[in-house]
Amino acid sequence: MGKTVPIRLNDEQLARVEESAALAGYKHLSTYMRDRLLEPSKVDSHQGGIDQWADQQRIMSLLESLDQAQATNRTILAIVVYLLRQNSTQGKLSELRAELSALGSNEEALAALLPELAKDIERLSGED
C-alpha cells in the first residue's frame, strides 16, 4: 500500500474539489486528486492557458491581416472594373487583361493600372 500525504484545504477548496471529482465520475476523492495531480496533460494547466491565449492572439492577428488583404483585393477589383468600363474597346480590354494576368500581386496590378496612385499610396503608407 502507498503512503498517504496530508493535504489541508479550506471549506471552499474542498467543496470545489468534491464537485470536480463528482463531475468527473469519481467515487473516491483521493483517487481523483491523485489522477489529477499525476495526469501529464494537466500538470501545467496554467501554461496551457497561456499557450491557448497566445494561439488566440496569433489567430486574431492572422484574421486581421486576412481582412486587410481582402479589403485591398476588393479595392483593386473595383479599380479594374472601373478601368474596364472606361476602356471599353475590345483591343483595350484584351491588352488590360493580358497585363493583369502577367502580374503576381495586387500592388503590381495597381502600379501597372494607376502608377501615380500606387506611388501616392506607397508614400502615404510609409513603405519604401
Answering whether pTM is above 0.85, one says no
Q: What is the pLDDT of residues 70-88, one digit of tens each?
A: 887 777 777 777 776 775 6
Q: Which residue has the higher pLDDT, 54 or 60?
A: 60
Q: What is the pLDDT of residue 40?
A: 60
Cα 33 from Cα 50, distance rounded (Å): 23
**C-alpha–C-alpha distance, residues 46 and 70, integer Å:** 36
User: In whole angstroms, what is the distance from residue 49 CA to residue 34 CA?
Assistant: 22
Alpha-carbon distances, residue 29 vs 2, 13, 61, 62 (angstroms):
16, 13, 43, 44
| pLDDT at residue number 62 | 92
Distance of alpha carbon 36 from alpha carbon 7, whole angstroms:
14
CA-angle at 125, arms to 122 and 128, nearest 5°: 50
Every domain of the chain and the residues it spans:
11-42, 45-125
104-119: pLDDT as tens digits: 666 777 677 677 767 7
CB atoms within 10 A of CB 76: 18
Cell numbers found for residue 100? 493583369
Buried b / exposed e along 78-96 (16+ C-beta atoms within 10 A): eebeeeeeeeeeeeeeeeb
